[in-house]
Amino acid sequence: LIAFFQPKVLAGQHVLVTAGPTYEAMDPVRGITNLSSGKMGFSIARAAREAGAEVALVAGPVHLSTPRGVQRVDVRSALDMQAAVAKHIDAASVFVATAAVADWRVADVAGQKIKKDGSGQLPQLSFVENPDILAGVAQSARAKNGALYCVGFAAESHDLLKHATAKRERKGVPLLVGNIGPATFGLDDNALLLVDAQGHQELPHANKLTLARQLVGEIARRLKTV
């Protein structure tokens, strides 16, 4: 019922959200990943839909049900996520990157399960850097001419305002949202720090859906002024 009465501040907008971790395979049965429940991203997708937007949600491996009315695309690796984003970005007017994308992937993924040979010898893995999906989107012509509004997230362990401010500039996004620590992985509550060109503001501790609805309001307010 609450959802029904949300103001339709994103009517006519197309919102693309990335959420959850990515999983980078080492071999067919092993891989590396990030800690991320996907709850914040799924809540934002839900809140954007409630606010009247068309919403596409590109999700890494998570255990969450799809918010009503949201088009979900499941992916596994960062490269999969990048490809899914590329497919949907032209239709988007807002891009919200909440995914905890693995920064590196294994360079040579073994085609078969790596076996212990009994000698105690360790596998030697080398890594390659994954593409920065958000930074790539933020550099596109549509983002630069204001047709696409980009929002980044940052999970920092310390000096949140300093890192979030620097990250906002480095990624070239108008709005960067920091999770106010300690780690909120998997929890239902969070607090957010919003950093934009005007300065910063806090959305105090609340459950993630409440915060997502507030954030959607903040995004909508900024869309009007760009």
Question: Could you give the angle at the alpha carbon of 127 between the alpha carbons of 124 and 132, nearest 5°?
Answer: 165
Among 20, 21, 152, 174, binds ligand CTP (CB under 6 A): 152
Separation between Cα atoms, residue 148 and residue 100, nearest integer Å: 21
Interaction between residue 103 and Ca ion (CB under 5 A): yes
**DSSP symbol at 107:** S
Interaction between residue 192 and ligand CTP (CB under 6 A): no
Three-class DSSP category at 192: strand
The verdict on whether 130 is a catalytic residue reads: no
Q: Smallest distance, Å, CB 103 to ligand CTP? A: 5
| First-to-last C-alpha distance (Å) of the chain | 32
Structure tokens at 34: 């990030």
Tokens 């909440």 sit on residue = 98
Q: Is 132 annotated as a binding residue?
A: yes
- In the list Ca ion, ligand CTP, none, the entry touching 179 (Cβ below 5 to 8 angstroms by class) is none
Choose the stretch contacting Ca ion; rule: CB under 5 A; options: 21-29, 63-71, 102-110, 132-140: 102-110
Among 37, 153, 168, 215, binds ligand CTP (CB under 6 A): 153
Q: Which of 59, 127, 69 is nearest to 96 (CA)?
A: 59
Query: Which residues make up each annotated binding site for CTP?
Result: 103, 113, 131-134, 153, 167, 171
Residues that bind Ca ion (CB under 5 A): 103
